[in-house]
A and B are shown apart, each in its own frame.
Chain A
């Protein structure tokens, strides 16, 4: 394939307190894929995303977004953190949280105005949450909170979307709604990278997959590399056994 590379990672190593969490990762993510990152707990999936987004400082390696460092390409990237990473009792509304997605393009000090509010309302509508715009965020269900997070990423109108376990704790309806939005993003030529836990749904949802367990095990099209061999290498136990448990 002659595709453009959206994210290029070379020799990335990340360590917490001298203990490596990611070890010498080389990874090229082509533009326009809907990619799952799979791997066991502690495999460094979230850490990989956080390193790409410059939230964590790696001890070695380089990361490029369309050929340039992240700091110069912030406007091309949107991020959906794990739902549990924030305090949902924070005194604010759904609309306000979605508006936060516009803060990056505003930069320091400048405040969101009518244009930003309009964009936030549109994003809320896309995820089917417009009716809840003035709802305090603690009054939302887990699935609704995840939709709000997705809307906040949509409002950034980025080229690459990173999502950390967007299906955690959401019901089947919301999961379908979210994956449909992700598929639409891919159709629009965007690159979507998702930390994913449910191995069963990988072939149905994604067209690209990366197996990760501290080291990169494999990366490529789902139809070519999503097999027992790679799953066994990643999870360390026979995949069929793991699924039956």
Chain B
């Protein structure tokens, strides 16, 4: 790896971490859409900052962009509070307005300067190593590495200091307010950090694709854990891995780095969505199938328990007269046999002692409305699950 390659991956990783942290809280607050709005509406802030300084990496740009990001949130909340439109509509009204102001400003005044809309929207990580931070002739590395590094340090500091406040105001803003931990301050703090991070991600993925780095890792982590700290760590991990994998994908295909990074983020989410242990698509599907078989098994055993006459307990009869739904009667019989619940003699099915005990207990729970206890019962009685 060349120096430039290492620098690019380092920048991408820092951006991913800086995005995943506010992103986690935005996802939990159901505010994913507001990052979309912020990512667009910081444009006028950047443009005005650029007109003042004529330097794309000036800190003033970040300040102005953060201000217009917070302005977006204020305007959205103001429109929403009129009660005339809902939040999504308010967001849809505010950010195109601010974004278009930014575009008009660029088109009118910046035709002859190096500030094109593509650079703002898509970013170009490949060029980041060429823009160096030089102090008294010493090369201190790429400027964007320093910018995102500083933003990340601030974000981490705020996260560690205010973790408790972020958690309670996200989970229960009413209680936070009653306890004197102003959720409004936390809210605007988070919005400011999100806006600043969005500008910081400018070089790496551009202002638009930063949405992916904020939302996708957090959404992926959400599927895998029930613990906020672990969710933050996983989001950071997914973000960094996708960023680096995305870089090498772009390298191999000779294509856009930010596009590849975003595609990898989407792919990782898809894989986790499909294969996550508890909430994943296949795991849910498997559980539903298991439950169908086990419910059928229970119905089957109850039927056997209720009927002593042989014709009601004939294998053929069971095939015909019990509504098995999508479950094959054979798999139910097999499961009952494997668990020693029944015996079959000359096609006549009988409950074993264990089967009887299981059925009696299950009926008890059903008539006393304690259906949830049946799950625990299965753990006690079943050697094999459906």
Could you tell me which A residues sit within 8 Å of B by CB distance?
A: 17, 50, 53-55, 71, 74, 77, 79, 81, 85-87, 90-93, 97, 100, 103-104, 106-112, 136, 138, 141, 152
Contact = CB atoms under 8 A, between A and B. Distances in A.
B174 A100 contact: no
B247 interface: no
A55 B171 contact: no
Interface string B320-344: 0000000000000000000000000
Contacts of B167: 92, 100
Classify the secondary structure of B's interface with A.
helix
A160 to B, nearest CB: 12
Band of interface residues on B: 20 to 34
Contact of B226 (A87, A93, A109): A93
Nearest to B171: A90
Interface string B175-198: 111111100000000000000000
Contact of A87 (B161, B164, B171, B231): B171
B181 A77 contact: no
The 8 A-B pairs of least Cβ separation, nearest first, read A104-B179, A136-B226, A53-B178, A79-B178, A55-B177, A81-B174, A86-B172, A90-B171
Nearest to B372: A141
B221 to A, nearest CB: 9
B83 interface: yes
A54 B177 CA distance: 8
Contacts of B168: 100, 103
A106 B176 CA distance: 12
Contacts of A138: 226
Given A109-B162, A111-B164, A90 B177 contact: no
Which of A17, A103, A136: most chain B Cβ within 10 A?
A103
B177 A91 contact: no
A90 B28 contact: yes
9 contacts: A55-B178, A92-B167, A97-B171, A103-B164, A104-B180, A108-B162, A108-B181, A109-B161, A136-B226
Contacts of A107: 180
A111 B162 CA distance: 9
Contact of B174 (A85, A90, A93, A141): A85
A116 to B, nearest CB: 10
A158 B168 CA distance: 19
A53 B173 CA distance: 13
Interface in B21-62: 28, 30
